[in-house]
Structure 1
Amino acid sequence: MTETALMPLPAGFGAPALEAHAISAWFGDRKVLDRVSLAMPARMVTALIGPSGCGKSTFLRILNRMHELVPSASLAGEVRLDGADIYDTGVKVTEARRRIGMVFQKPNPFPAMSIYDNVVAGLKLTGTRVSRSGRDLLVEESLTRAGLWKEVRDRLRQPGGALSGGQQQRLCIARSLAVRPEVLLMDEPCSALDPTSTRRIEETITELASEVTIVIVTHNMQQAARVSQQCAFFLAEQGTPGHIVEAGDTTQMFGAPVDPRTADYVNGRFG
């Protein structure tokens, strides 16, 4: 498999915030990604699409050093944030994950912790000191940016686990935003949600994209078309490791893709 070249971003996309260069990944002896390169534009949404098992979620976790939490995992290549490789020995893992946040497929608020304490939980993990009045402002700001403030402002001391599924997911987004990340990674954030909650999360993504670079894994082609400006189509064929078949402007990818496999996938002919 030849390396996917790091494609220049389309006109109007500006500089990339995050760049993956020749990323290969293994779990033990099993290679799951083969020399994947992708530039992700600043303050826009990049959607990672493709069938299950093609390495999208693994690639996403590599982007903020969560891949290395798996004992048998290894990787090669570089992930550059603003030009600096986050895997350099001088870069602290906590700092990389503060700057590149993650929202998981299943909402995971701390259930016994209040809504307020859920939002500020990341401050302790990153060693960030904020005054009480500063925390109050940060909670309101983060919940507002996550589209949840009006719904919970009168019950901030109630448990986060008492919220609905969609509200819990937005609480997790607020928790990630509280440490002021530059990039927000989202691994199928709507897959466990009802259509109404999905629509609200998509609205939140659209609102956040002007401030934060977002990379989202989704199996929902309509969602990818609605929320993203750029797509990358991953595929793993006949037991080979996952790789990018095609990447580019979302409208182009859905309307006139270059590779026939991309056309087949986005039009539902497989996957």
Structure 2
Amino acid sequence: MPATDKTVELPPVPVRPSAPGPSAAPGPSAVPGSSAPGAHPATLDAREVSAWFGDHKVLDRVSLTMPARHVTALIGPSGCGKSTFLRILNRMHELVGSASLAGQVLLDGEDIYDRGRRITHARREIGMVFQKPNPFPAMSIYDNVLAGLKMNGVKATRDERDGLVEECLSKAGLWREVADRLRQPGGALSGGQQQRLCIARSLAVRPRVLLMDEPCSALDPTSTRRIEQTIGELSAEVTIVIVTHNMQQAARVSDQCAFFLAEQGTPGVIVEHGSTEAMFDHPQDPRTTDYVQGRFG
């Protein structure tokens, strides 16, 4: 739907600091087992989200529901706030000293920015895969997968660790390629393999949502196709939100799209969102038509 004009402006407020509270992360023994709390996909709901870097407003009252077990693609030209919005969804926006925001981000109805929720809990439930693969280069493939568990203080037996490594590498479509060299450095893998290793690492902490910021932009077509296959296979188990500039990719992998746009120095807004089929075949806004057909951007 086209963005709705509002009469009330949300003022910039500092990003709220995290603090311990009753919604602290589940206990250390929870993650390796299949019955881990929070292991099921969640609906992510952004409500009236505005964002600033210092006095510069980059997003204006963005609202978007990202349903569980769906792939949502964020599309739009560079500089319209897609990646900022993605980072807001798992509290990475606040890592920038000048950053501030207004609005809510709800994970199955609970605000991830609530003062009673730990930032580590939010990032454990909402994982992130970045544009450039970032495995720990000197760490083995095996240890890369388990890195998130160590960072979260999760305890697991050797059998649990072995099973988790195989499970996550299999889900990321990498197990058959690396099963006989798990103790080799993750940095020795190809670019596409490194990206799938990062996906496996994210999956190891049982996220409910997985955010992907242009995960294929630096990859060759063969690696891109494998990552897209992985996204399709994972969508039944984890809610996925992906930023992409590749319209063909958005059409291939997503269930719904949101078109972001920032015009003439104004903050980014969602011009239109809906099912991927409708967005590409019957867009309601002429700007959406122009963008998905490659007339600008």
TM beyond 0.5: yes
Q: 2:289 aligns with which of 257, 263, 268?
A: 263
Q: Cα deviations across residues 84-128 of structure 1 (Å, max 9, x unaligned)? A: 000000000000000000000000000000000000000011221
* Percentage of pairs with the same residue: 79
Q: Is the 8 A contact 2:42 2:208 kept in 1?
A: no
Write the deviation string for residues 172-213 of structure 1: whole angstroms up to 9, x where unpaired. Answer: 000000000000000000000000000000000000001100
State the 1:2 CA deviation.
Answer: 2.0
The alignment status of 1:184 with 2:184, answered yes or no, reads no
Structure 1 distance, partners of 2:42, 2:125, is 15
Which residue does 1:92 correspond to in 2?
Answer: 118
Q: Does the CA-based 8 Å contact 1:48-1:231 persist in structure 2?
A: yes
- Aligned position for 2:163: 137
Task: Give me the whole-angstrom Cα distance separating, in 1, the residues matched to 2:129 and 2:109.
Answer: 23
Letter of the 1:226 counterpart = R
Distance 1:227 1:44 in 2: 10
**1:33 corresponds to 2:36:** no
User: Which letter does structure 2 place at the counterpart of 1:230?
Assistant: Q
Q: 2:42 and 2:212 mapped to 1: Cα distance?
A: 18
- Kept in 2: contact 1:2–1:35 (CA 8 A): no
Q: Distance in 1 between matches of 2:206 and 2:157?
A: 16
Q: Following the alignment from structure 2 to structure 1, what is the Cα–Cα distance between the partners of residues 5 and 178? A: 50
Tell me the distance in 2 between the aligned counterparts of 1:141 and 1:175.
11
Q: Are the equivalent residues in 1 in contact too, given 2:42–2:239 (CA < 8 A)?
A: no
- Residues 45-72 of structure 1, C-alpha deviations (whole Å, 9 max, x = no match): 0000000000000000000000000011
Question: Mind listing any 5+ residue stretches in structure 1 that lack a counterpart?
Answer: 4-14
Secondary structure in 1 matching 2:43 = strand
**Amino acid across the alignment from 1:205:** I
Separation in 1, partners of 2:100, 2:151: 25
1:220 paired to 2:223: no
Q: Match of 1:89, SS?
A: coil
Query: Retained in 2: the 8 A contact 1:16–1:39?
Result: no
Report the AA paired with residue 271 of structure 2: V
Indicate which of 202, 220, 231 corresponds to 1:205: 231
Aligned-pair RMSD on alpha carbons?
1.0
Tell me how far apart the structure 1 counterparts of residues 42 and 296 of structure 2 sit (CA, whole Å): 31
Paired position in structure 2 for 1:42:
68
1:102 counterpart SS class: strand
Q: How does 1:31-70 map to 2 (within 5 A)?
A: 31-70=57-96
Amino acid at match of 1:97: R
- Kindly tell me the number of residue pairs found equivalent between the two proteins: 260
How far does residue 29 in structure 1 lie from its aligned partner after superposition? Answer: 0.5
2:5 aligns with 2
- Flag structure 2 segments of 5+ consecutive residues without an equivalent: 7-40
Instruction: Describe how 1:98-247 pairs up with structure 2 within 5 A.
Output: 98-247=124-273
- Decide whether the 8 Å contact of 1:105 with 1:190 is kept in 2: yes
Q: Tell me the distance in 2 between the aligned counterparts of 1:102 and 1:20.
A: 17
What CA distance in whole angstroms lies between the structure 2 residues aligned with 1:131 and 1:39?
38
Of residues 82, 96, 105, the one that matches 1:79 is 105
Distance 2:127 2:153 in 1: 15
Q: Secondary structure at the match of 1:35?
A: strand
Query: Contact 2:42–2:238 at 8 Å: present in 1 too?
Result: no
Q: 1:11 — aligned with what?
A: none
